[in-house]
Structures are given as structure tokens and as C-alpha cells.
């Protein structure tokens, strides 16, 4: 087991294509950390640099206390699980799982017992003698994870390990991975583009975008206090509603802004470094929009565009006249029935409204 530290890591594939710009991060021993971001943002590249499969262009990588930049992949004591599973097709599952130990010269009896133990944890004992081609996708992924466990690595790396599985199996494996981490207490670095996986698995999430870390924090912290527009838009499903506006009142108390058509919204944010008429973006999560009666203070008129019943919740897509943005609102399943074309009134509770300045950075929120 070991911590991992990244210090100003950079990666260029060619001289002028920079994939990772300047990434610094401390990963604690035993932590489950998830790198999340859109496809192509450099997550796999980052992971492969930690694994030793790509050269590091600049910066320092520490695994434990050791500077690992120039240590060969085979000597880093890490295990990696690939999206494609990458099982050796000519070996049985047991041989696949024992391959690393065999290369390391471990006695055969010990290899057998460790493979057996890992197989028991993953419930694949009955598959050990089979070749990978005789397994289903989910079983192959278990074997691939088994191959990683057997080695007692210092760090586990996962590169989108569940992306090739169907939805039900993915959910299943997600739960098992969580349990596995509980059991092993080994540092795990997990890459995914799926924000649900990130939210459910991580001790801490690292949001990547365009080769830069956008924000690091616990899933809940990132959800509630995104530090910029990218994180706000990336985490959460359905997405946070974002509307453009200009500042009306700045101060360090309640800030207020005006949307198009002069609609006024208040937010419990510290906007003291902004000035009146500065352009801002306000954000509010679907579950925080309130359905109110017409005479409530600050009520905005709106019209229902589409209703989706998901059983436990109802998603209502609504439009405010004059603002050409569809807002999404999440209501409890027991909410009064809405239908296409209904005229309703909504309110944005100030404590749930987030503000982002013109560069997309979040304004600090004030305690309620």
C-alpha cells in the first residue's frame, strides 16, 4: 500500500500537443480516488503515466516516498485493470491471475493459494480452469480484477473497467468494487467518464477537463459547491440549470441579479468583488426549483413543455416566457399532476442559487 503524489505533471505526445498541462495532486494511502471528465480530457493518459506505460514529459511522480518517473512499469508494484480486460487468451483464468507471481518467481504452491483466495473473494473459483474465450464479459472482468488482486499491489489502477458491461452488470460490479475496497483498504485510482460511477465509488473525485484538474473533493462537496461552471454542469443528472444574467446588487449579504426580461433572482452568495451590471451565470439544480402559488414573493411564471414520470420522481421541463432556455425541475412522484401546456409558478430559493462570474468561477456561498 502506498500514497501517490503528482507534482506539476505534464504530458506532450508531440511537441505541440499537450494532453496534461499541470497536474498536482496528493492521493492518500488507502484512498479510493476517481478521475472523471469527458472523453479525451487526458484521464487515461494520466493513469498510464502513473502505471509507467507512458513517459512523463515534466513534473514528478511519487509512489510512496519513491520518485517513480523513471521506474519501469514492471517494477512499480502497481496493478492495472483495463477497459478491454486484456486477458492473455492462451492461458487459463488461473494462469492469467498467477502470471505476475510466476514472473516474480513465487513458489508454485503460494501462487496456487493466492489465486484460490482471490478467486474466492470474486466468486470465480469454478471458472479457474477455463480459457478467457469461454467466459462472459462480466466474468472476464472479474478475472481481470482477480489478476490485479493476486499481486497485493501498492496501488490499483482502473481504466473505465465497467464500460463494456451492460447496465445491470455495471451496477452490480460497482457495488462489488466498493466492497473490495472496504476489504483490501488499498489505494485505488479509478478512471471513468461516468459521473454516476464517480459519485458512488469515490472517497474523493478529481474532475479533469482539457488536461487540467478542475476541482478535487468529496462527491457531495463537488455536487453542492462546484468551483466552476464546468464542474457544475458535469456532475449531476439531470444537469444543473444555468441561466445568464447581470448583477443588480453586489454587497456581501444577499446578492441579486436580473435575468432577461427583468426577472429578479436572489442568491446567498458573496458577490462583493463584482460590480453592478457585471455579467454572471446563475445555476440551480433541478431538485431545488420550487413549485409555488402565483402570489408568492419572487414567483416566476412558467409553462410546462414536457413531463417525464420516472416512478419515484417526476421530471418537468419548463420554459419561462422570454427566456429561451428549457429548465429541468425534479419533483417528488407524489407531486400534483402536471401536463403539457400547464401554466405554473416557480421560485429559486436563494440558498440554493449558485453564481458564476464571467470567467466561470463560482462565487463563495454564504452560510444560511
Ligand X SMILES: Nc1ncnc2c1ncn2[C@@H]1O[C@H](COP(=O)(O)OP(=O)(O)O)[C@@H](O)[C@H]1O
Q: Rule CB under 6 A: which residues touch ligand X?
A: 13, 19, 37, 39-45
Give min distance, CB of 73 to other proteins, in A: 4
Which one, of 300, 195, 202, lies nearest residue 238 by Cα? Answer: 195
Residue 241 sits in the site that holds Mg ion (CB under 5 A): no
Q: Which residues contact 302 (CB under 8 A, 6 or more apart)?
A: 318, 319, 320, 321, 327, 343, 344, 345, 346
Helical segments of the chain, H only: 43-51, 93-103, 108-122, 137-149, 167-184, 195-201, 219-224, 229-234
Name the phi and psi angles at 174, rounded to 5. Answer: -60, -45
Q: How many CB atoms lie within 10 A of CB 116?
A: 14
Give min distance, CB of 42 to ligand X, in A: 4
Say which residue the cell 464517480 belongs to.
198
Q: Which does 42 bind (CB under 5 to 8 A by kind): Mg ion, other proteins, ligand X, none?
A: ligand X
Grid cell of 166 as nine digits: 451492460
Q: Which does 228 bind (CB under 5 to 8 A by kind): other proteins, ligand X, Mg ion, none?
A: none
Q: How many CB atoms lie within 10 A of CB 1?
A: 14
**SS3 of residue 245 by DSSP:** strand
Residue 192 sits in the site that holds Mg ion (CB under 5 A): no
| Strand 313-319 with 32-36, pairing | unpaired
- HSE, CB side, 13 Å, CA atoms: give it for residue 347: 14
Question: Which of 25, 86 has the CB closer to other proteins?
Answer: 86
Question: Which of 162, 300 has the CB closer to ligand X?
Answer: 162
Give min distance, CB of 94 to other proteins, in A: 14
Candidate ranges 73-81, 111-119, 332-340, 350-358; the one touching other proteins (CB under 8 A): 73-81
Site string for Mg ion, 28-67 (x = CB under 5 A): ----------------x-----------------------
Residue 11 sits in the site that holds other proteins (CB under 8 A): no
Residue 135 sits in the site that holds other proteins (CB under 8 A): yes
Report cis status (omega within 30 of 0) of the bond before 151: no
Note the residues at the interface with other proteins (CB under 8 A): 48, 51-53, 72-76, 78-80, 82-90, 99-100, 103-104, 131-135, 137, 140, 147, 151, 164
Amino acid at each position: 500500500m502506498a500514497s501517490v503524489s503528482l507534482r506539476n505533471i505534464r504530458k506532450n505526445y508531440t511537441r505541440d500537443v499537450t494532453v496534461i498541462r499541470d497536474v498536482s495532486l496528493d492521493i492518500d494511502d488507502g484512498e479510493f480516488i476517481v478521475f472523471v471528465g469527458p472523453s479525451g480530457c487526458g484521464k487515461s493518459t494520466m493513469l498510464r503515466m502513473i502505471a509507467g506505460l507512458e513517459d512523463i514529459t515534466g513534473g514528478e511522480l511519487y509512489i510512496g516516498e519513491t520518485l517513480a518517473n523513471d521506474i519501469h512499469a514492471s517494477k512499480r508494484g502497481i496493478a492495472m485493470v483495463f477497459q478491454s480486460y486484456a486477458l492473455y487468451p492462451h492461458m487459463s483464468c488461473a494462469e492469467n491471475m498467477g502470471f505476475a507471481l510466476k514472473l516474480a518467481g513465487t513458489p508454485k504452491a503460494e501462487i496456487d493459494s493466492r489465486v484460490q483466495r482471490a478467486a474466492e473473494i470474486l466468486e470465480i473459483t469454478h471458472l479457474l480452469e477455463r480459457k478467457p474465450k469461454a467466459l462472459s464479459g462480466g466474468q472476464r472482468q472479474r478475472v481481470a480484477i482477480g489478476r490485479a488482486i493476486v499481486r497485493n499491489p501498492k496501488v490499483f489502477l482502473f481504466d473505465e473497467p465497467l464500460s463494456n458491461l451492460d447496465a445491470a452488470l455495471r451496477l452490480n460490479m460497482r457495488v462489488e468494487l466498493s466492497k473490495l475496497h472496504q476489504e483490501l483498504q488499498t489505494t485505488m485510482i479509478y478512471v471513468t467518464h461516468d459521473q454516476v460511477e464517480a459519485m458512488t465509488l469515490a472517497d474523493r473525485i478529481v474532475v479533469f477537463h482539457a488536461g487540467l484538474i478542475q476541482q478535487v473533493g468529496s462527491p457531495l462537496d463537488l455536487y453542492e459547491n462546484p468551483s466552476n461552471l464546468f464542474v457544475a454542469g458535469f456532475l449531476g443528472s439531470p444537469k444543473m440549470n444555468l441561466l445568464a444574467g447581470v448583477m443588480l446588487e453586489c454587497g456581501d449579504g444577499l446578492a441579486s441579479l436580473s435575468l432577461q426580461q427583468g426577472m429578479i433572482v436572489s442568491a446567498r452568495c458573496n458577490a462583493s468583488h463584482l460590480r453592478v451590471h457585471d455579467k454572471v451565470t446563475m445555476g440551480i439544480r433541478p431538485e431545488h426549483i420550487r413549485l409555488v402559488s402565483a402570489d408568492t414573493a419572487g414567483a416566476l411564471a412558467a409553462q410546462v413543455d414536457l413531463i417525464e414520470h420516472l416512478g419515484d420522481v417526476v421530471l418537468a421541463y419548463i420554459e419561462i416566457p422570454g427566456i429561451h432556455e428549457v429548465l429541468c425541475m425534479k419533483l417528488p412522484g407524489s407531486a400534483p399532476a402536471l401536463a403539457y401546456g400547464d401554466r405554473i409558478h416557480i421560485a429559486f430559493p436563494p440558498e440554493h442559487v449558485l453564481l458564476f462570474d464571467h470567467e466561470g468561477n463560482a462565487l463563495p456561498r454564504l452560510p444560511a
